Chain A
Amino acid sequence: MAIIENPLELESGTVVEVAERPLGALTRPSGNTGWASWLFTVDHKRIGIMYGAFAMFFFLIGGLEALAIRLQLAVPNGKILSPEVYNQVFTMHGVTMIFLVIMPLAAAFANYLLPLQIGARDVAFPRMNALSLWVFVAGGFFLCSSLFIGGWFKNVPNGGWFNYAPNSGTLFSPTQGIDFYAVGLQILGIASLVSAINLIVTTLNMRAEGMTLMRMPVLTWMLLVVQFLLLFALPVITVALFLLMFDRLWGANFFNVEMGADPLLWQHLFWIFGHPEVYILILPSFGIISEVIPVFSRKPIFGYSFMVGSGIAIGFLGWGVWAHHMFVSGLGPISVAAFSVSTMMIAVPTGVKILNWVATMWGGKIRLTTAMLFAVGVVSMFTIGGLSGVTHSVSVADTQQTDTYYIVAHFHYVIFGGALLGIFSGFYFWWPKMFGYKLNEKWGKWNFWLQIVGFNLTFGPMHILGLQGMSRRIDSYDPGYGFETWNLVSSIGSFVIFFGVLIFIINIFVSKKQAEHLPPVGPDPWDARSLEWMTASPTPEHNFDEDIVVDSLDHFWHQKYGYDDDGNVVRIAYAEDVAQDGSNDNVHLPSPSYWPLVLSAGLPFIGYGVIYNYWLCAIGGFLVLGAIFGWIFEPPDDPDGGHGHHDDHGDDGDGHSADSSDADDSAEKTDDDLVSVGADTAEAGDAATTETTATAGEADNG
């Protein structure tokens, strides 16, 4: 590994002192400590952590809503929630868990890990990254504010997360609840779209030298696929939400059946978004466990290129299955048959992934850490969810299952058992990298077992309830239909889950306290494989002291392990020797900025404005426009961009050419120094393929 003497530059660097203050007041915030350093940060790692923290806050809200639902249904004729409130609670439970919990938790991992895994210093557009975070937070609080605006549970969305027309029209939903849904999801869509563009450009453009696409970790690949799904799915729901908003607020006729409109339009638009959305939720978890399982099986991922390929295939096929949500809407036999077949087809790449995870574990030296337990939990629980999903693809069976608890069971096995357990696996796995200490394994195992047992107790019986004919979304049921026992079991299970999550939260604090008496975790506590473990824990602000030049898939692992004369794997270096210690404080980073936060703050005003009073739109518009101008006229953050003569558009002219030549020099040095190292790792790479039957595709050509 070459040592580069010159300070490395990021595309945009930090401003130590602002040389010029255009328009007087426009400076950039500075400082690395205190609350302001979090509010105005553009560091992808802090943004990732905040994504996670806000999502966990919303997780508690969504979880309490779930408990309220289960309390209501624990016994026949539940009296805890009125039917009106029940509708609002189950709607908000769904919307919260999907848009405010799973998606942002995936975004947390994407933001934190994606740049690290490709060896980059930050994302392509750091300020836009901060914008995504704060727009998400603004949209989340906007949506949740409906819980109490105008009185508790008066104006909460109540049409289900799918919000079918014509029930969503003003005739059947006269409160402002659906307006909050329509506007809130649009705000959240902006956040996801900005983030998708940013991460796509980051992945395609900012990879370290040698990090070809087929050397990217599976997690990076899955996140890239997810960003493309977001990119193309969000505009479709945006259209649907706009049309709904036009109908409700300004009397348009898109879903107005009285005027001959076709309510199926909503279903089509919604599910063209909604089904890719399912893969948006699940693929990040697939990526996470594809990192966790190889590390704790001490084997490379089985069939890397198949893993990547099947992820891409899921991304493509995900667009051709939306109408399986609409089998009972009278589509006609040809459509139903076509979508049945496409739905069965998408089980193939998913099955490939499951078999590959199993094959990765097969014959491996498995360490059952909490992270690994959660990952195995995903493989098994998702398989159940996937199998019940295949039963939906058989349209005759689906006709019986539609709108029963069988569906509820299915998608909870997929989204809770797949997506959420995977995210918990990621928590335990990357916690030391993010915060510098490991989560306690003993508490972690309690966390896992309570969660998995509670999960199966809650959602397993719902299969039976559904097949017995219990409808979804009913606020109560009469005794005597055979629903009592399983509903009670399910409700007990939900409280077991609650205690599991509680233990996770306790674990965070317990582990932090214990870590004070433990040695530091070091860069690579799990003996892992990807680049994020090549730098100190917690990750220093500049990520890497020096640019990494990648020469194989699992580059880091090949730095640590080689082969003796008999072809056995032997350690050739300790992680501490290979990894960087994070001591380089000469790296210039982008300066923090006020404007992403200000811009985001304007959006809820516009939201409340269109619902209640257009004057609020003016305030919001003022904030947004002001923020855009502030953003544009913000001083440049490139310290080498020429102090004294730069303009407010950032200096990309002569000031920079000198740096580029420096960068070229250092790149050359890096190449030279790497010759010897490269030879070793090439061997290691080849031998790795023979050691196990796994092939790493073209990536291992070293």
Chain B
Amino acid sequence: MAEAVLDSAVHAADDDHGHSTGTGISNNKLAMWVFLGSECLLFGGLISTYLLYRHNIQDGPGPSEEFFDIPFTSASSFVLLMSSLTMVLAHYAAERGDNRKLKIWLLTTALLGSVFVAGQIYEFTVFVEEGLGWSTSPFSSAFYALTGFHGVHVTIGIIMLLSTFISAVRGRMHPGNAETVEIVGLYWHFVDIVWVFIFTVIYLAA
């Protein structure tokens, strides 16, 4: 699925040229909205699984304030949330046709996202060292599955951002296809919002 979304976002101009549509929303944008609806259920399933196994820790570490490094994760969460702001700025620049700012903000967003993913990888290595392996307990499996799925989503978002960035560098972005940036932005904001839920459920509820 990720491929198809990446494609439809990067390739936004293919099938729809801004003809009037039944809903008034372009095909590409509507497709992204519909897809994100589906994604809600995907994360809904994973979050439910996590909630079910939250206290099922067997002999391994559990979700506690001592085990999680909450200041660290808060900082990386902040970075991710800030990337939503830069995403909005990128979209704004794209609509005005400001190619220079568009490039800056797209790249910044991708960088902030990368910082988040890097933080997550670092966090995982620390957890593994502290004895929370993938197979340690139902809790550990559910924890890694949920955060890992989210991390993969962020990574796909970064690839979409970089693809759009490359288009901008090659002079392909203009106000006529600013919607491409908007669609990438929709996905990006969704991934951020999902993280707010995940962060609450995993870290703040610990």
**Complex alpha-carbon distance, A636 and B11, angstroms:** 11
- B19 and A663 contact, CB distance less than 8 A: yes
A636 contacts across to B, CB distance below 8 A? 14
**B34-A231 in contact (CB<8A):** yes
- Residue contact A649 to B27, C-beta cutoff 8 Å: no
A236 touches B41 (CB 8 A): yes
Query: Please, how many angstroms separate the alpha-carbon atoms of A250 and B148 in the complex?
Result: 14
In the complex, the answer to whether A12 meets B25 with C-beta atoms within 8 Å is no
A604: min CB distance to chain B, Å: 15
A234–B38 alpha-carbon span in the complex (Å): 8
Chain A CB within 10 A, most for which of B19, B22, B23: B22
Contact code string A133-146 (vs B, CB < 8 Å = 1, else 0): 00000000000000
A200 within 8 A of B: yes
> Is A90's CB within 8 Å of the partner chain B?
no
Chain B residues within an 8 Å CB radius of A125? 8, 15, 27, 31
Binds A, one of B42-50, B84-92, B109-117, B194-202: B42-50
B34 CB to nearest chain A CB (Å): 5
Cβ-closest chain A residue relative to B26? A205
B125 within 8 A of A: no
- B120 interface residue, CB < 8 Å from A? no
- On whether the beta carbons of A246 and B141 are closer than 8 Å, the reply is yes
Which residue of A232, A240, A656 contacts B37 across the interface (Cβ within 8 Å)? A232
Determine chain B's interface SS by DSSP, over half rule.
helix
Q: How long is the Cα–Cα vector from A632 to B49 in the complex, in angstroms?
A: 36
Give the contacting residue for A131; candidates B4, B27, B40, B174; CB below 8 A.
B4
Residues of A within 8 A of B30 (CB): 200-201, 204-205
A252 pairs with B145, CB closer than 8 A: yes
> What's the Cα separation between A204 and B19 when bound, in Å?
14
Mark each residue of chain B from 120 to 152: 1 if its CB lies under 8 Å from any CB of chain A, else 0: 000000000000001111101110010000000
**Residues of B7-36 contacting chain A, CB below 8 A:** 7-8, 10-11, 13-19, 21-23, 25-27, 30-31, 34-35
CB of A253 within 8 A of CB of B137, answer: yes
Given contact pairs A11-B16, A124-B16, A649 touches B167 in the complex (Cβ within 8 A):
yes
8 Å CB contacts to B: which residues of A1-46?
11-12
What is the bound-complex CA distance between A198 and B28, given in angstroms? 10
> Are A652 and B176 neighbours in the complex by a CB distance under 8 Å?
yes
Which of the four size classes fits the interface of chain B?
A: 35 or more
Return the contact of B13 from the options A205, A631, A652 (Cβ within 8 A): A652
Q: Known contacts being A125-B8, A231-B34, is A246 close to B145, with CB within 8 Å?
A: yes
Interface residue B69 (Cβ < 8 Å from any Cβ of A): no
Best-buried of B45, B52, B134, B177 by chain A (most CB within 10 Å) = B45
Contact size class for A?
A: 35 or more
Is B56 touching A193 in the complex (CB atoms < 8 A)?
Answer: no
Does B6 make an interface contact (CB < 8 A)? yes
Residues of A within 8 A of B52 (CB): 262, 265
Residues of B within 8 A of A652 (CB): 13, 17-18, 176-177
Whether A259 pairs with B14 at a CB distance below 8 angstroms is no
- Which residues of A609-648 are within 8 A (CB) of B? 624, 627-628, 631-632, 636, 638, 647
Q: Is the CB of B6 within 8 A of A628?
A: yes
Q: Find chain A residues with CB under 8 A from B17 CB.
A: 11, 638, 652, 656, 660
> Contact mask A229-249 → B, CB, 8 Å, 1/0?
001111110111011001100
Q: Which B residues lie within 8 Å of A11 (CB)?
A: 15-17, 19, 27
Can you name 14 extra interface pairs (CB under 8 A) apart from A628-B3, A652-B17?
A125-B31, A197-B31, A201-B31, A206-B22, A233-B41, A242-B145, A251-B135, A253-B137, A256-B138, A260-B138, A272-B45, A590-B15, A632-B10, A649-B177
27 A-B pairs (CB sep. < 8 Å)? A11-B17, A124-B31, A194-B1, A205-B21, A206-B21, A206-B27, A236-B41, A236-B44, A239-B45, A239-B46, A240-B45, A243-B49, A250-B134, A252-B145, A253-B135, A253-B138, A256-B138, A259-B137, A599-B3, A627-B3, A628-B3, A628-B6, A649-B11, A649-B172, A653-B176, A653-B177, A660-B18
Which residue numbers of A lie inside 8 Å of B, CB to CB?
A: 11-12, 124-128, 131, 190, 193-194, 196-198, 200-201, 204-207, 231-236, 238-240, 242-243, 246-247, 250-254, 256, 259-262, 265, 269, 272, 590, 599, 624, 627-628, 631-632, 636, 638, 647, 649-653, 656, 660, 663
